[in-house]
Amino acid sequence: MKRTLWFSAIILLWASGEAASQSDLQRAQNLATCLEGKYPRLCHKDWLNPDDRQKTAVAEQKENLRTCLTGKYPALCNKAILSSDEARDVAAAEKRENLETCLTGRYRSLCKKQMLSQSERAQVLAAERSENLRTCRTCLTGRFPSLCDHALLTSSQAEQAKAAEAQAAQQRSTAARTRPARRSGCESGHWIDSVSDDGEIVKLEDGSIWEVDASDAIDSALWLPTTEIVACDGKLINTDDNEKVSATQIK
């Protein structure tokens, strides 16, 4: 028991000594950070007096509510410090933001369908189908089978897509056999099949694989499948975004 009390006393003395060792400038900077309410983890509340701690708590609650009411960042919203009325408003904001995301039809993995009403689900399904079909170059040209979601196509559309994919595959095979080896200059008519997350590997529709210089990977990481590409010796040119990166064909 005595050892426990002695150890506790040492900890308190150390903590008070550390707090006392802070300069006036450090305390002022800490107070400014705390009163913003945006960075609770950067706020040393043990440096604050009771009045400033209360002001900090109010600032954090206000900033948290502002973040929550956007509905965009549920993971950053601390619902534990919301009042019942605020929690209700935040739930409505998140539902509204989710519906907006869903209705684009583009971000199916980000759409929380459990938050949708039956009528909203029907609208979202129609939006997803429309978006899938909007990229006719994705489905009905057959050029990008990996990007075409056949589950969203009607039976007639699925048959057209399948026939187009077979024709596109045959055309690629014929082009690969007849295309002369690239010795110099540039070759147009290519498009991106896939890009690695870090942007350092780009695969084109003809199966060729390119390694992008690390200094340029920040650009190629943002390139999207189906983007038109001109392949040159030592570089790839994105004609959609008017960007080029240094790259070496490794396959």
pLDDT in tens, 98-156: 999 999 887 777 889 999 999 999 999 988 887 776 654 566 666 666 667 777 677 87
Cα angle, residue 9 at apex, residues 41 and 51 outer, rounded to 5°: 45
Q: Quote the strand ranges of 196-242, DSSP E.
A: 201-204, 209-212, 228-232, 235-238
Q: At what angle do helices 50-70 and 84-103 cross, to 10 degrees?
A: 30
Q: What per-residue confidence (pLDDT) applies to 10?
A: 44
Q: What per-residue confidence (pLDDT) applies to 147?
A: 62
d(C-alpha 251, C-alpha 208), whole Å: 5
pLDDT in tens, 175-220: 555 555 444 578 888 888 888 888 889 998 888 889 999 888 888 8
Query: Where are the chain's structural domains?
Result: 137-176, 182-249
Residue range 225-244: mean pLDDT, rounded: 86
Please report which helix (H) or strand (E) contains residue 245, including its range. strand 243-249
Which string of DSSP letters, residue by residue, matches 192-208? EEEE-TTSSEEEETTS-
pLDDT in tens, 240-249: 778 889 998 8
The residue with greater pLDDT, 189 or 89, is 89
- 18 pairs with which residues across the strands? none
